[in-house]
Amino acid sequence: MSESLWQNCLETLQSELPSQQYNMWVRPLQVQAINNDLVLFAPNKFVLDWVRDKYADRINELLTELAGTNKPNLKMEVGSRAAAPVANPTLQVGNNFAPSNGQNSSPSGTNFNNTNNVTQIGQTPPQTLTSNLKESYVFDNFVEGKSNQLARAAASQVADNPGTAFNPLFLYGSTGLGKTHLMHAVGNEIRQRNPDAKVVYMHSERFVQDMVKAIQTNSIEEWKRHYRSVDALLIDDIQFFAGKERSQEEFFHTFNALLESNHQIILTSDRYPKEIDGVEERLKSRFGWGLTIIIEPPELETRVAILMKKAHESNFDLPHEVAFFIAKRLRSNVRDLEGALNRVIANANFTGKAVTIDFTKEALRDMLALQEKLVTIDNIQKTVAEYYKIKVADMSSKSRSRSVARPRQIAMALSKELTNHSLPEIGAAFGGRDHTTVLHACRKVTELRETTHDIKEDFSNLVRTLSS
Ligand SMILES: Nc1ncnc2c1ncn2[C@@H]1O[C@H](COP(=O)(O)OP(=O)(O)OP(=O)(O)O)[C@@H](O)[C@H]1O
């Protein structure tokens, strides 16, 4: 039968694709066999186009391999499979299909999606919970680049299909890279589409405080009911749960209750779930049930675009070369970029002077000095040597052995990216090498970051260590 064929097909796709891609694009698909057709339903056009473009050929190939001449026709469309009783619920792809059980959608507006029947948990409306959503954090003013593209796409998927696309959505990455912004953008979008939706944003520390207060005032049962009745719960900086066992316990139950009823959860953290110390294993493992995505520091073009966009929003005419100058020097964090821009705007308004590079250097003198001091070639060489467990002297040695040459190339590329030294200066610092060697190293590392997962990860770990 075609649907079990799809199940086999899925197993192969899962083994072939990186898990993030599989979870993001393939997992949300629903399947239905209709006569001789195997229809794949995508939750929206975005996913549909992507799957058609990237995976349809491979899916067709697999269907032929598995079914030979009995291969069904593959069709793809936006939608969800008919909500008829499911013959075999294990055929569900993703967690987005709730079989009809005769209790139709609640009229209270708790459901986002009329193809789902959601079990209501808790009857009390959350009178004491405010949404805390920041209206200014929306998708429209979130600048997209390579470093945040996946996170942005996943967030917009969740906004389109709350509770069903990816649940929970777990965004992680260093400070000031837009995790909170994206989380609010999802919440705002959900509310815009369904003004009755109960969306609650909360910093994890506030969640803990609230809970402690509820215990002290003997209102923990009510507190639980409130949290468990929200349609989307957004908890920021989950790493602050570390060591707070009682809160983790309560959160675990709230989390399960919300997931079971297809209510959306979005979490952020400064690190990968498994790396959060002081949080119970069962909770960490549950964080990974949906989709876990990193947001990385934006690359130069995105930093420039962010500055230009923010200047435009403030009606400030920022010369492109000044945006470039700032973006080149402040690399690790969007919050710092914003701070720098605000400083430039304030100084320009105050002094009435033209915004040139010299003016900007002066306005940002302390910020730039701090940055220059932090990242030196010396520092990069030491950090990279330590990371790869080689000697600092190997950075300048003539050795071409891969175990030394690769880290050396990475250190050169980092020097180019994180300092303002020229190629010849960098070459000189690496044992008197020629500037073309440095250029070659930079190109090689760029290529490896695109093709090799480990190098990509090493590079961003090193950038993070060096920029923090
Ligand atoms: N891609 C982006 N486009 C526009 N603004 C951005 C982008 N990324 C971040 N910002 C802005 O940078 C600031 C910091 O972002 P945000 O607070 O979301 O970071 P964060 O990753 O949640 O940091 P933390 O871990 O410290 O909470 C915000 O004002 C946000 O609007």
Q: For a substitution probing ligand 1, which of 181, 303, 333, 467 has the most ligand atoms within 8 Å of its CB? A: 181
Distance from Cα 177 to the centre of ligand 1, integer Å:
5
3-state secondary structure of 32: strand
pLDDT score at 311: 96
Q: Write down the pTM of the prediction.
A: 0.65
Strands 37-42 and 199-203 turn out to be unpaired
| Pairwise pLDDT comparison (417 vs 426), residue with the higher score | 426
Question: 365 and 383 share a domain?
Answer: no
CB 148 less than 6 A from any atom of ligand 1:
yes
Question: What three-state secondary structure class fits 110?
Answer: coil
Give the strand order in the sheet containing 73-78. Answer: 30-34, 37-42, 73-78
DSSP secondary structure of 201-260: EEEHHHHHHHHHHHHHTT-HHHHHHHHHT-SEEEEE-GGGGTT-HHHHHHHHHHHHHHHH
The total domain count for the chain is 4
Q: Is 234 in the pocket of ligand 1 (CB under 6 A)?
A: no
pLDDT of the residue at 102: 31
- Do 341 and 309 lie in one domain? The reply is yes
Do 195 and 285 fall within a single domain?
A: yes
d(CA 405, CA 298): 27
Residue 157 CB less than 6 A away from ligand 1: no
Q: Is 293 helix (H, G, I), strand (E, B) or coil?
A: strand
134 within a domain of the structure (yes/no)? no
On whether the CB atoms of residues 438 and 430 are closer than 8 A, the answer is yes
More confident residue, 126 or 355: 355
Give the pLDDT score at 468.
Answer: 61
- Mean pLDDT is lowest, of 250-254, 418-422, 455-459, for 418-422
Q: How far is the CA of 414 from the centre of ligand 1 (A)?
A: 24
Ligand 1 contact, 312 CB (< 6 A): no
3-state secondary structure of 99: coil
Q: Residue 200 in contact with residue 129, Cβ under 8 Å?
A: yes
Same domain? 365 vs 334:
yes
Q: What is the mean pLDDT of residues 295-322?
A: 94
User: Are 319 and 196 in contact, with CB atoms under 8 Å apart?
Assistant: no
State the residue range of the domain holding 349. Answer: 300-374
- 370 and 382: one domain? no
Same domain flag for 346 and 399 = no
Q: Is 288 annotated as a binding residue?
A: no
Residue 454 is assigned to a structural domain of this protein: yes
Residue 389 confidence (pLDDT) above 70: yes
The predicted complex's ipTM stands at 0.98
| Measured distance CA(123)–CA(117) in Å, rounded | 16
Q: Are residues 275 and 179 in the same domain?
A: yes
pLDDT 10s digits, 147-204: 899 899 999 999 998 988 789 999 999 889 999 999 999 999 999 999 999 999 999 9
> What atom in ligand 1 is closest to the CA of residue 152?
1
Which pLDDT score, from 0 to 100, does residue 83 have?
A: 52
Considering the domain architecture, whether residues 202 and 269 belong to the same structural domain is answered as yes
Is the pLDDT assigned to residue 413 strictly greater than 90? yes
Average pLDDT of the chain, as a whole number: 84
- Specify if 433 maps to a domain: yes
179 annotated among ligand-binding-site residues: yes
CA distance 136 to 236: 17
Sign of the Cα pseudo-torsion (270, 274, 280, 286, in order) = positive
Q: What percent of the chain has pLDDT over 90?
A: 43
Give the domain-ending residue among 81, 102, 135: 81
Confidence class of residue 305 from pLDDT cuts 50, 70 and 90? very high
Which pLDDT score is estimated for 371?
72
- Segment 373-377 shows an average pLDDT of 80
Ligand 1 centroid, distance to 338 Cα (angstroms): 9
Does residue 98 carry a pLDDT above 50?
no
208 lies in some domain? yes
Could you identify the atom of ligand 1 that is nearest to the CA of residue 145? 1
What tokens does 201 get? 């944003």
Amino acid 3: pLDDT: 73
Burial zone of 87 (CB within 10 Å; 0-12 exposed, 13-18 middle, 19+ buried): exposed
Do 153 and 288 fall within a single domain? yes
CA distance 170 to 235: 10
Rounded CA-CA distance 396/427 in Å is 9
Ligand 1 pocket test, pick from 335, 338, 342, 467 with the greatest ligand atom count within 8 Å of Cβ, gives 335
| pLDDT confidence of residue 123 | 34
Q: Which atom of ligand 1 is nearest to the CA of 184?
A: 18
What is the predicted pLDDT for the residue at 106?
A: 31
201 lines ligand 1 (CB under 6 A): no
pLDDT in tens, 25-47: 888 888 888 888 889 988 777 77
Residue 317 lies in a domain: yes
- Is residue 93 assigned to a domain? no
307 lines ligand 1 (CB under 6 A): no
CATH (domain of 250): 3.40.50.300
CA angle 86/89/92 to nearest 5° reads 105
- Measured from the Cα of 236, ligand 1's closest atom is 27
At 323-371, the pLDDT tens digits run 999 998 888 789 999 999 999 999 999 999 999 999 999 999 988 877 7
Contacts of 229 (CB under 8 A, 6+ apart): 110, 120, 121, 122, 123, 124, 125, 126, 198
